[in-house]
Amino acid sequence: MTRQGLFLSAWIALLIAATPAAAQRVDTPTSGVNKLVRTPLPYWQVGDVDRELSRLCSMGQFNQRAMYRFSAHFSGNNGQSLVGGAKGSGLNLVDPLSRANPEFDYWFYRDRTANCIVFRAAVDGSGVRRDGPLPTNPPFRPTR
């Protein structure tokens, strides 16, 4: 190997070693939507509002990894919306502060906006909601 070839090989090895983040990059699936629920009920019946997580969502600290990768479509006359979902176990969830609880599913209304609202719904092992009666009133409205 020539001196130039050795220099080039060393330079490439140095570049590869200097960028370990590129080698460990995790791709986020962004194609496709899995619609989990379609219902005529209002969107606020998906779960209970979690004010702390809603605040973190507004600041980009608790969000869906891929917007609407898992979604619920509420199509009734009252409370029409499409909300995105994530599992407390971390599926489709960005949670750098580790605030998620694996016993809950999280639903995002207006994710990645200043008016984000996070709903949480307790689930058992089968994925069925197990907490009390559904709320009948719309959730709080965030103040500016």
Whether the per-residue pLDDT at 104 is higher than 70: the answer is yes
Out of 42-46, 49-53, 70-74, 129-133, least confident range: 129-133
Q: Which residue has the higher pLDDT, 96 or 138?
A: 96
The dihedral region occupied by 37, where left means phi > 0, alpha psi between -120 and 50, and beta the remainder, is beta
Whether the per-residue pLDDT at 128 is higher than 80: the answer is no
Determine the pLDDT at residue 34. Answer: 77
Determine the pLDDT at residue 49. Answer: 97
Mean pLDDT of the chain: 77
Determine the pLDDT at residue 35. Answer: 73
Determine the pLDDT at residue 32. Answer: 62
Mean pLDDT of 18-43: 62
Q: Residue 110 CB: number of other CB atoms within 10 A? A: 17
pLDDT band at 7 (very low <50, low <70, confident <90, very high): very low
Domain boundaries, the chain: 34-122
**For 50-96, what is each residue's pLDDT tens digit?**
999 999 999 999 999 999 999 999 998 888 999 999 999 999 999 99
